[in-house]
Structure 1
Amino acid sequence: MTVRNRLSLAGCLLALSLPVMASPADHAEFGQPAPAASATRTVEINMTDIAFAPTSLDVKAGETVRFVLVNKGQLLHEFNLGDAAMHAAHQKEMLQMQQSGMLTPTGMGRGGMDHSSMGHGSMDMPGMKHDDPNSVLVEPGKTAELTWTFARADNLEFACNVPGHYQAGMVGKVNVAP
């Protein structure tokens, strides 16, 4: 077998194995992350202390939305897509991150947890990272983006799961129409 044939075979095997290697967190019942270029519309979400504007959003199943998230508040905020049960589970993780010093009221703490370099957790806190594809942290005065293709879902919310923020009402409704 020639080197060229071996490289072709290796490329084919790699391409066939990609779906198996993909993280299951990249896909959810309610949709999946998408490249910004595939968005059919852009929605700006303003984050203040402690609220989102707008507080609800109507989307269609199959629609790809590019969210531009603007933190106009003085505190760290999160934009997270999910249902109430997913938010409750994520809030426990966020509380652990806060207790470990990885999150502060205004940003990322020790370990240099930089959400923009997703997948790189703190060296002193192995396994603790904020890298869910349906979620982004936004520091005060900063802007971030998240692009999502929606599937059919009930009871979908966008929320801030920084400890105490969801409970204070920093949650909005996503209505997904067929």
Structure 2
Amino acid sequence: MITMPTTHRVLWMALAVLGLLATACNSSPPSDADTAATRTIEVTMRDIAFEPTNITVADGETVRVQFTNEGTIAHDAFVGDEAAQDAHEEEMAEMADMDHGTDDSDADGVTVQPGEAAELFVTGGPDGTLIGCHQPGHYASGMVITVQPT
């Protein structure tokens, strides 16, 4: 039987404990938006199309929008009014031109690779909120969801 010296056993135990602590510290509590979401709306991303193209959200209601990319290319979803969409379209085009990629993952947007899923939280407000895909050419081709107030 092969036995490990005591120092090696202690080192391995310490590494195991650190691994468990790191895992525990990595889990974050639910965000305010997550706990405030009243319902989930499923959206399918296909190549240059969202399904559905219209969703309804009551004024002040927060919904979880679950995006599933069933297409063959990456898509993103960015929440904002028309002015924000136009500004974001320019920003994403500049990023693509600078070869920085076109990842749109932040509080107002997500990038979803083919076969993957992601979520955003949308709070209903005044008319004019849109969710647009800003991969090159997609927004201009009509890959937009209209968020209609109720």
**TM-score normalised by the chain length of structure 2:** 0.73
Mapping 1:151-166, distance limit 5 Å: 152-166=125-139
Of 97, 115, 119, 1:145 maps to 119
CA distance in 2, matches of 1:63, 1:71: 25
In the alignment, what sits opposite 2:22? none
Q: Which has the larger radius of gyration?
A: 2
Q: In the alignment, residue 176 of structure 1 is paired with which amino acid?
A: P
For structure 1, the residue ranges without an aligned partner over 5 or more in a row are: 1-32, 109-129
1:156/1:149 Cα in 2 relative to 1: closer, same or farther (>3 Å)? closer
Q: In the alignment, residue 98 of structure 1 is paired with which amino acid?
A: A
Secondary structure class of the residue paired with 1:35: helix
Contact 2:64/2:122 (8 A) holds in 1:
yes
In the alignment, what sits opposite 1:74? 72
Structure 1 runs (4+) greater than 4 angstroms displaced: none
Q: Which one has more relative contact order, counting CA pairs under 8 Å at least 6 apart?
A: 1
Matched, 1:85 2:87: no
> Identity of paired residues, percent?
41
Contact 1:34/1:149 (8 A) holds in 2:
no
Per-residue Cα deviation, 1:38-83 (whole angstroms, up to 9, x for no partner)? 2100011100001000110111011110111101111111111112
CA distance in 2, matches of 1:174, 1:35: 17
For structure 2, the residue ranges without an aligned partner over 5 or more in a row are: 1-30
Q: How many residues align?
A: 120
